[in-house]
Amino acid sequence: MNIEVLTIFPDMFDSFLAYGIVSRAIKSGRIRVSPVNIRDYAAGKHRQTDDRPYGGGAGMVMMPEPLAGSINAARKKDGRAKVILLTPQGRPFDQDTAGKLAKESGLVFVCGRYEGVDERIRSDYIDDEISIGDYVLTGGEIAAMVVIDAVIRLIPGVLGSDESATADSFSNGLLEHAHYTRPQIFRAGAVPDVLLSGNHAKIDEWRLESALVRTFLKRPDLLEKKALSSREKAILKKWCDNIERLVSGQDSGHQGGDALSRADTLSGEEP
Ligand code: 6GU
């Protein structure tokens, strides 16, 4: 995949492109990322890229000519490339959008600065607008890095087999299960026995339960959106039943009992 990033601060991308999976993907030739200085397409002695807004008011607006010039140059290299403006007014970025963008042959990211880009660029040159969340950044560069990072790891071959994206949080509509590595005992915490058992059916079941419970606790909105499988429903129902048993045990005056210890098949990791 060919990625061009149009920005007035191309050097911001140096360290982003120099490390880890991003750097490896570039070296392997699976992606190419080219930061392009919009200023190279600006005219005049000062190569100005921003100007005051018509109608007055605070802030500056990115001038249309340098943006049009740099977008046209990127389009000339790859006519099929999708041109994406990073702006807080864009569509909220999510894993689903990352997956769709990973299938494109080329992407051109336009990084807005100041108060934004001239409206005629937005209407005539931009295929899609993306926001990375409901807050305002000083420019689109960090947002472009966020989007590029999320997209390239979904391109086939970019992740090694031991870094698979299939179990990622969000890829199945759930947060990912809990993870443990050595040592087996750390402070008061032990690794759940099931993970040491070598029983892969049991480990899969534990991981699904962990994913469901932590999604319920941390991001219940994700569960509302998700079509649950019958296995997933059964696991959540088991937790419901166990909690119900615990509560009705309290109502009838019993103390203790083992309702929760039965519910706690996650061995203390989840509550
Ligand atoms: Cl894509 N750009 C800027 N400037 N601010 C943002 C954003 C993008 N997404 C959230 N805030």
Instruction: Give the domain CATH number at 247.
Output: 1.10.1270.20
Same domain? For 94 and 134 the reply is: yes
Unique residue bearing structure tokens 């899609």: 128
The amino acid that residue 209 corresponds to is: E
- At residue 162 the predicted structure's pLDDT band, cuts being 50, 70 and 90, is confident
Distance CA 216, CA 24 (A): 36
Same domain? For 86 and 205 the reply is: no
- At residue 266 the predicted structure's pLDDT band, cuts being 50, 70 and 90, is low
pLDDT at 169: 84
Domain boundary pick from 163, 193, 225: 163
Nearest ligand 1 atom to the CA of 86 is 1
Phi-psi region of 43 (alpha: psi -120 to 50; beta: other; left: phi over 0): beta
Same domain? For 153 and 192 the reply is: no
Nearest ligand 1 atom to the CA of 113 is 4
- At residue 111 the predicted structure's pLDDT band, cuts being 50, 70 and 90, is very high
Residue 179 lies in a domain: no
Number of domains the chain contains:
2
Q: Are 129 and 123 in contact (CB under 8 A)?
A: no
Ligand 1 within 6 A of CB of 188: no
* CA 33 to centroid of chain Cα atoms: 19
Q: Are 119 and 64 in contact (CB under 8 A)?
A: no
Distance CA 29, CA 61 (A): 36
Same domain? For 79 and 152 the reply is: yes
Residue 23 has pLDDT above 80, yes or no: yes
User: Ligand 1 test: best mutation among 137, 141, 146, 148, most atoms within 8 Å of CB?
Assistant: 137
**What's the CATH number where 74 sits?**
3.40.1280.10
Same domain? For 159 and 192 the reply is: no
Same domain? For 44 and 158 the reply is: yes
Ligand 1 within 6 A of CB of 140: yes
| Centroid of ligand 1 to alpha carbon of 111 (angstroms) | 9
Question: For a pLDDT cut of 70, what percent of the chain falls above it?
Answer: 93
Ligand 1 within 6 A of CB of 88: yes
Residue 64 lies in a domain: yes
Domain boundary pick from 97, 128, 163: 163
Ligand 1 within 6 A of CB of 85: no
Same domain? For 33 and 139 the reply is: yes
Same domain? For 205 and 149 the reply is: no
| Centroid of ligand 1 to alpha carbon of 141 (angstroms) | 9
Same domain? For 82 and 138 the reply is: yes
| Centroid of ligand 1 to alpha carbon of 27 (angstroms) | 29
Instruction: Count the alpha carbons within 13 Å of 219 in the hemisphere toward its beta carbon.
Output: 13
Q: Which residues are catalytic?
A: 88, 115, 153, 168
Please report, for residues 13, 69, 246, the alpha-carbon distance to residue 243 in angstroms, rounded to integers and kept in the order given: 50, 63, 5
Residue 29 lies in a domain: yes
Domain boundary pick from 163, 195, 215: 163
Nearest ligand 1 atom to the CA of 132 is 9
Residue-number span of the structural domain to which 59 is assigned: 2-163
Same domain? For 153 and 196 the reply is: no
Residue 251 lies in a domain: yes
Same domain? For 156 and 206 the reply is: no
Nearest ligand 1 atom to the CA of 144 is 1
Ligand 1 within 6 A of CB of 87: yes
Residue nearest to atom 8 of ligand 1 (CA): 87
Residue 180 lies in a domain: no
Ligand 1 within 6 A of CB of 131: yes
| Centroid of ligand 1 to alpha carbon of 143 (angstroms) | 6
Residue 170 lies in a domain: no
pLDDT at 114: 79
Report, as an integer, the average pLDDT of 182-207: 97
Residue 153 lies in a domain: yes
Same domain? For 135 and 253 the reply is: no
- At residue 220 the predicted structure's pLDDT band, cuts being 50, 70 and 90, is very high
Q: pLDDT (tens digit, 9 = 90+) per residue, 28-87?
A: 999 999 999 999 999 999 999 999 999 999 999 999 999 999 999 999 999 999 999 999
Residue 176 lies in a domain: no
